[in-house]
Structure 1
Amino acid sequence: MPKLSIIIPCYFNEENIPVTAGKLFETEALFPPEVTFEYIFVDDGSKDNTLAELLKIRNANPEKVKVIKLAGNVGSYNAIVAGMEFATGDCNAIITADLQDPPELMLQMYAYWKKGLKLVIGNRQDREESTMQKFFANGFHWLMKKIALKNIPDGGFDFVFFDKQIREEILKIKENNSNVFYLMSWMGYDYVNIPYVRKQREIGKSRWTLKKKIKLLIDSLLAFSYFPIRAISVMGLLLGVIAFIYGLYILVAKFSGVIAVQGWTAIMLVLLFVSSFQMIALGIIGEYVWRGLDASRKRPLYIVEKAFPNDLK
């Protein structure tokens, strides 16, 4: 009897929880009767009534619902890894608590898993969101596909169905400042992607701020690509060639007397340009160095404050 573990990260989702849980329970009826379910709701340090709502669901369905309360907000990706730690299924699914991704798609994903695929991706073919949200999301995933991971599907994804072997590998890695979905793709398993249209959020307010989006972009690029460091080297080489050519020009102009050598303005422009490049380069190098330091500390990705039922370990 295959067991499906569904991991749902939650952050300020008190209004979504009853609706999301109800929809997930309804989706069970679409699966073959031999499939058993467990739901792992991870409260990512919410400060509203998210935990209270989750415990209501847990108390009404104690045989299949687990609730994990994290001590602080660590981000949805780390919360997902926390959920994996408590998952026991033969296969797993990750879905958001705001119902923007269709739970019924998991039935098709399960069918592919039964055929032997260890990873099934639900990729966003389109989204019912604002133009700016689409621009950022599409630009982010286009950039990642071009310079980091060539094998990811177009449109991006955060709705996946995967085998317990992938779950176990991710728990071994527990990488800081990374992207758990791209990590699955990076592993190299064959996968199939199922396109769908992501719905507009109807309940509650998104906490996915611009600051978090920028951090995700930086984390994902640095975790899966050496492009930023390589770009610094290439740019430095080009500047060196330009400086050499310009230096020859100055020497010729100086000693021939044919062309008057320009003074203060040209020097200031060169200094400002080169100084700016140096600061940007130091910033990029600093990001890599800081991530190395952060990894060497071996601090946990999350702290579990409490798990329900209380005998969970």
Structure 2
Amino acid sequence: MPKLSVIVPCYYNEGNIPVTTRELVANEANFPPEVSFEYVFVNDGSGDDTLAALQSAQVMYPGRIRIVDLAGNVGSYNAIVAGMAHATGDCLAVITADMQDPPELMVQMYAHWQKGFKLVIGNRQHREETGLGQTMAKTFHWLMKNLALSNIPDGGFDFVFFDRQVADEVLKLHERNSNVFYLMIWLGFPYVNIPYTRRKREIGKSRWTLSKKIKLLIDSLMAFSFVPIRAISVLGLGLGAIALLYGLYVVALKIASPDEPAGWTTLMVVLLIVSAFQMVALGVIGEYVWRGLDAARKRPLYVVREVLEPNKEAQQQQWRR
């Protein structure tokens, strides 16, 4: 009897929890009767009443919900890793707590998993969102596809269904400052891509700030691409070639016109260009060095304050049904 673990990272989702749990439980009716369910909600250091809302849902739906309460906010990707570590299913899914991703899509994902695919991706081909957020998302995924992982689907994704083996392999990596979904792609398992339209958020306000988006872009590029460090080498060679040609020009000018005064403006422009390049190069190198230092520390990705288990007796009754 296969067991599906649905991982839901939560951060300031107090108002979403009642709707999310209701829709997830209602979606069980669309699955074959032999499938059992557990929902692993990870409270990522929320400062509102998200934990209380989760505890209420745990009482309302006995035997289904496991709550992993983290000691502090560690980011959604680390929260997902925590959920993977505490999930016990044969197959797992990750879905957002704001219900922008349709839970009914998991039925198709499960069917592909039964056919032997270890990774199934819900690909956002269209968004009901508009404006700057949509433009930034498209730019981010274009950069990742062209500079890092060429085999990722267009439009991006954060709704996935995967086998227990994929979860175990990701947990073994102990990756820091990375992108857990891209790690699943990087593992190399063949995957199925299911397109869908991402809904507009109806409840609450997104905490996915601009600074977090920029950090995710930097982390993803640094984790999966050598392009930034390669760009420094190419730019350095280009500037070196320009400097060599300019040096030859200055020598030739000096020979042809010995009394020609040195160009102060030209000297300053060259100096500024080279200095600017050096600062950019040091910044990019520093990003890689910092990530190496962070990995060498081996600090935990998350700290669990408490795990609230579902009612075991009610869970056994659910499985028997």
Q: TM-score, normalised by structure 1?
A: 0.97
- Over 3 Å counting, the alpha-carbon distance change for 1:229 and 1:311 in structure 2 is farther
In 1, the alpha carbon distance for the partners of 2:70 and 2:178 equals 19
Match of 2:99 in 1: 99
Q: Which residue of 2 aligns with 1:21?
A: 21
Which residue number in structure 1 is paired with residue 33 of structure 2?
Answer: 33
AA paired with 2:39? Answer: Y
What's the CA shift for 1:252?
0.4
Q: Structure 2 vs 1, CA of residues 88 and 220 (structure 1 numbering), >3 Å: closer, same or farther?
A: same
Alpha-carbon displacement from aligned partner over 1:170-222 (angstroms, at most 9, x marks no partner): 11112100000000001111001001110110000000000000000000000
Moved over 3 A (4+): 258-262
Letter in 1 for 2:256: S
Moved more, 213-222 or 131-140: 131-140
- Counterpart of 1:173 in structure 2 is 173
| 1:65-214 map, 5 Å | 65-214=65-214
Match of residue 315 from structure 2: none
Structure 2 SS opposite 1:157: coil
**1:94-121 Cα deviation digits (max 9, x unpaired):** 0000000000000000000000000000
**Aligned residue pairs, count:** 312
Separation (CA, whole Å) in 2 of partners of 1:54 and 1:310: 11
Distance 1:152 1:267, change over 3 A: same
Three-state SS of the structure 1 residue aligned to 2:274 is helix
Report if aligned partners of 1:253, 1:259 keep a CA contact under 8 Å in 2: no
The aligned amino acid for 2:270 is: V
Distance in structure 2 (CA, Å) of the matches to 1:149 and 1:135: 20
Q: Does residue 1:251 correspond to 2:244, yes or no?
A: no
- Deviation readout 1:234-287 (Å, 9 max, x if unpaired): 110111111000000000001111994551111111111111111011000000
Q: Which residue of 2 aligns with 1:242?
A: 242
Contact 1:254 1:261 in 2 (8 A): no
Partner-residue secondary structure (3-state), 2:158: strand
Offset of residue 130 of structure 1: 2.1
Give the Cα separation in 1 of the matches to 2:84 and 2:236. 43
Counterpart CA distance in 1 for 2:179 and 2:50 is 24
What is the SS of the residue equivalent to 2:196?
strand
Contact 1:95 1:158 in 2 (8 A): yes
Are the structure 2 counterparts of residues 219 and 133 from structure 1 closer, same or farther at C-alpha, using a change threshold of 3 Å? same
Q: For residues 259 and 36 of structure 1, what CA distance do their matches in structure 2 show?
A: 89
2:63 touches 2:311 (CA, 8 Å); kept in 1?
no
Q: Distance in 2 between matches of 1:82 and 1:47?
A: 19
Q: What is the distance in 1 between the residues matched to 2:19 and 2:291?
A: 39
Contact 2:62–2:310, Cα closer than 8 Å, also in 1 = no
Task: Give the Cα separation in 1 of the matches to 2:288 and 2:144.
Answer: 17
Give 2:231's aligned residue. Answer: 231
Partner of 1:308: 308
Cα distance, 1:52–1:93 mapped onto 2, change above 3 Å: same
Residue matched to 2:317: none
Q: Which residue of 1 aligns with 2:295?
A: 295
Q: Any gaps of 5 or more consecutive residues in structure 2? A: 313-321
CA distance in structure 2 between the partners assigned to 1:306 and 1:192 by the alignment: 35
Corresponding residue for residue 47 of structure 1: 47
CA distance in 1, matches of 2:309, 2:152: 37
Quick one: distance in 1 between partners of 2:125 and 2:94?
18
Deviations 1:142-190 (A, max 9, x none): 1000010011000000000000000001111121000000000011110
Cα distance in 2 between the residues matched to 1:23 and 1:289? 45
Matched letter for residue 32 of structure 1: P
Give percent identity, aligned residues only: 66
Q: Give the secondary structure class of the aligned counterpart of 1:217.
A: helix
SS where residue 96 of structure 2 aligns?
coil
C-alpha contact (below 8 Å) 1:98/1:203 kept by paired residues: yes
The amino acid of 2:44's aligned partner reads: D
Aligned pair in 2 of structure 1 residues 248, 7: CA closer, same or farther (>3 Å)?
same
Contact 1:123 1:153 in 2 (8 A): yes
The structure-2 alpha-carbon separation of the partners of 1:88 and 1:38, relative to structure 1 and needing over 3 Å to count, comes to same
Please name the residue that 1:8 is paired with.
Answer: 8
State the superposition RMSD in angstroms.
1.4
- Work out whether residues 253 and 261 of structure 1, in 8 Å CA contact, stay in contact via their aligned partners in 2: no
Q: Is the 8 A contact 1:44 1:72 kept in 2?
A: yes
